[in-house]
Structure 1
Amino acid sequence: MGEGRRRLQRLTGGWGGLALQVGLVAVLVATAWWMGHNAEVNMQTRGVASGFEFLDRPAGFDITQTLVPYEPTDTHRRVFLVGALNTLLVAALGIAAATGLGLLAGVLRVSRNYLARTAATAYVELARNTPLPVQILVWYNLMLVAPPPKDALGIDGLIFLTNRGLYLPKPVFNAEGGIAFAAAGAAVVVGALLASWLKRRRTFTGHAPSPRWGWALALAGVVAALVATGNPTGFDLPHLEGWGFTGGVSLAPALTALWAALSFYTGGFIAEVVRGGLNAVSPGQGEAARSLGLDEGQALSLVVLPQAMRVIVPPLASQYLNLTKNSSLAVIIGYPDLVAVFAGTSLNQTGQAIETLALVMVFYLVISLSISAFMNWWNSRSAVWAVSR
């Protein structure tokens, strides 16, 4: 009993602290109830509908870009799904590109090469010190003045940039593609589990084989799956036909501009995060690596960067969250993300602002918490990995 009271004392500060916390919770609950009741009464007085029944009504408008089938006769529930997928698409593309760009610029910021260091510094200052909405408009106008399809900017006949968008190769799968991917996925899972087990056993005993054997098994399994099913993958390449391009995957000008702006803007902040992480590692670590015969690239990737990850990952999570939430600025150039189609068009048609905005807030909250949870897991893994190496 005495132990329970001491624990209560530590958690709440005693009976007085507990009473204060209970009172605060009661005030918050009462305030939330009052606001909800007040909103309900006011909406009933003005004849404004409430509830989520509007989700099952026909939307009645078209959406220019969809990742799933959509027709104007579909419901607002379908509009929410389409907008959410479009938001996740640009966020995923932006996170991937910004990470690569930021990592490169951050490494160049600590380079001994004067020109590379100066160029990276200029990029970081430009990206960090200009407003994101302005950058979005700049990239969008650059897309509008890009060459027409007949004069498209191309890379080895695989990628083409025009004023109608960005055209990329499209993966094509035959009937055995599903089997191949299932077998390859199983091989990756088994290889990852084996690598994790070998790593733990090697840590405790010091005699287990290298964890790389697990990843080697995963790679061998993927290759075997592709070979056994006749390599069931190919690419549909974009090509000029008539007045435009056909084949491949086309990214609309709004999506391309938004992707470029988010990547360029966030990449500048990630570069500073990477630079700070690299500078947090003692210079003696790199000098010791070079004294053992490692070149600059090996010393960076094998010695300095693994230790810097413990400093880089926590603020990197904040940049990923910022990029995801900044994607809501897509409405500036008409990209049909969740805010534009659901918190915009659907809200205007139904007039149910509280419900639509609440759903949008819940969506961003879930995505943000998911990113935070993944980055926290990655941070714990990178810290252990850096120590074990």
Structure 2
Amino acid sequence: MNAQVPDKIPFFRDPSKLSVFYQIMTLLGVVLLSYYLVSNTLANLERQSISTGFDFLGKEAAFEIGESLIDYSAADSYGRALIVGFLNTLIVSFIGITLTVLLGTVIGIARLSSNWLVAKLSAIYIEVFQDIPVLLQLFFWYAFFYEILPTPRQALAPLPGVFLCNRGLIFGVPHFHLAYIYAAIAFGAGIICVIFITRWSHKRQDESGKIFPLIRVSAVILVGAPLLAWLLGGAPAEMNVPALKGFNFKGGVTISPEFTALLLGLVLYTAAFVAEVVRAGIQSVSKGQREAAMSIGLKPAHVLNLVILPQALRVIVPPLTSQMLNLTKNSSLAVAIGYPDFVSVAGTTINQTGQAIEGVALIMIVYLIFSLSTSAYMNWYNKRIALVER
């Protein structure tokens, strides 16, 4: 008896073919919609005699920027002005993320302290700074510097050569010398050396169970190597100390009120959320882990560093990444207090050139780069600390 050949499924009833068809039609619809929007926008811009493209980046900016990590003047191009804004945003984000992780970790651990006062103060900090919008916090710190702090003539001097006033934080720095370059190189080499020692110590501990004094050795390397390079370079000690001349200080380094207010607002606000992330991550580790570690004689500090935190990090890292991204994106609020970040510089550029589409596109691209870079690094770190199943 011949086997019956199944009937061929019609196209409109074949799920696999229909799914491909729907995806093609969706893609085609997106392409057509994009073409319509772009062509319509270009036609409207041409009708209103508005130039398009990025040729304006090479034209003279003709506006000053209060703070810059590189040399800049009003005679420079819009492109260089945007680079200044990019670097300003980068430095605020980098320093802010570093301080936020450190402060949030300390407060999160303190939130679980057995000391009643420490735990309550940490809880109050978290509740207060989480419930106040970050923009209001920026306004508060900005007003603190300009309304509460004294003028340069009555500047506070908490330390010799350090002054705090409504012009910002002013402090002395060493005069340039090659010895400091050598010290910086030695510090970088020390970091690389510590990374290799850390890997070796962990491997040694896994194989033999012996604990290597990693923290003390790392501290000696990171402090001793730059110090030795500084001594070999001639041990220069000349300082560029600020001095009051007229209505302001001359010399040294000045950290502006805008930068400080932005950094304080972002760090204190985001650290409250990071503290909750750290607290939740620590509490996710079962009590049996702590009890087992204490039963073999480990000190509380070793229990936290060697047993609790390594396991908690696998829970902490994903939400911590979100908080890092939030801090970077919230840095765009700097325009509200006059700090020249990328959004502020791009806004001035748009106002002068009238090329809003290109300016907004650059803002989107820059923050996309920041976000993707942070996510890529944290995803790499998350995979590195992930548990490997056997």
Please give the alpha-carbon distance, in whole angstroms, between the structure 1 residues aligned to 2:218 and 2:314: 23
Corresponding position of 1:56: 58
Corresponding position of 1:8: none
Q: Which of 21, 24, 32 in structure 1 is aligned with 2:23? A: 21
Q: 3-state DSSP class of the match of 2:150?
A: coil
1:191–1:216 Cα contact (<8 Å) kept = no
Greater shift, 358-367 or 300-309, is seen at 300-309
Please give the alpha-carbon distance, in whole angstroms, between the structure 1 residues aligned to 2:102 and 2:178: 34
Q: Which of 92, 103, 106 in structure 1 is aligned with 2:105? A: 103
Code of the aligned partner of 2:18 = G
- C-alpha displacement at 1:201, in angstroms? 8.0
- Aligned pair in 2 of structure 1 residues 191, 268: CA closer, same or farther (>3 Å)? closer
- C-alpha displacement at 1:102, in angstroms? 1.1
Deviations 1:52-74 (A, max 9, x none): 11111111111111111111111
Corresponding position of 2:4: none
1:103–1:270 Cα contact (<8 Å) kept = yes
Q: Which of 341, 344, 348 in structure 2 is aligned with 1:345? A: 348
Deviations 1:345-371 (A, max 9, x none): 110110000001101110100111001
Structure 1-normalised TM-score? 0.85
1:196–1:211 Cα contact (<8 Å) kept = no
Q: Which of 285, 300, 303 in structure 1 is aligned with 2:304? A: 300
Corresponding position of 2:383: 380
Corresponding position of 1:7: none
Corresponding position of 2:9: none
Structure 2 spans left out of the alignment, 5+ residues:
1-14
Greater Rg over alpha carbons, structure: 2
Corresponding position of 1:130: 132
Q: 3-state DSSP class of the match of 1:254?
A: helix
Structure 2-normalised TM-score? 0.85
- C-alpha displacement at 1:104, in angstroms? 1.7
Matched, 1:164 2:167: yes
Aligned residues: 372
Please give the alpha-carbon distance, in whole angstroms, between the structure 2 residues aligned to 1:326 and 1:26: 36
Corresponding position of 2:195: 192
- C-alpha displacement at 1:209, in angstroms? 10
Please give the alpha-carbon distance, in whole angstroms, between the structure 2 residues aligned to 1:231 and 1:313: 42
- C-alpha displacement at 1:236, in angstroms? 3.9
- Aligned pair in 2 of structure 1 residues 176, 90: CA closer, same or farther (>3 Å)? same
- C-alpha displacement at 1:179, in angstroms? 4.0
- C-alpha displacement at 1:43, in angstroms? 0.3
Deviations 1:295-314 (A, max 9, x none): 43332223222221111111
Matched, 1:174 2:180: no
Q: 3-state DSSP class of the match of 2:104?
A: helix
Corresponding position of 2:83: 81
Query: Percentage identity across aligned positions?
Result: 41
Corresponding position of 2:32: 30
- Aligned pair in 2 of structure 1 residues 121, 210: CA closer, same or farther (>3 Å)? closer
Corresponding position of 2:276: 272
Please give the alpha-carbon distance, in whole angstroms, between the structure 2 residues aligned to 1:309 and 1:348: 45
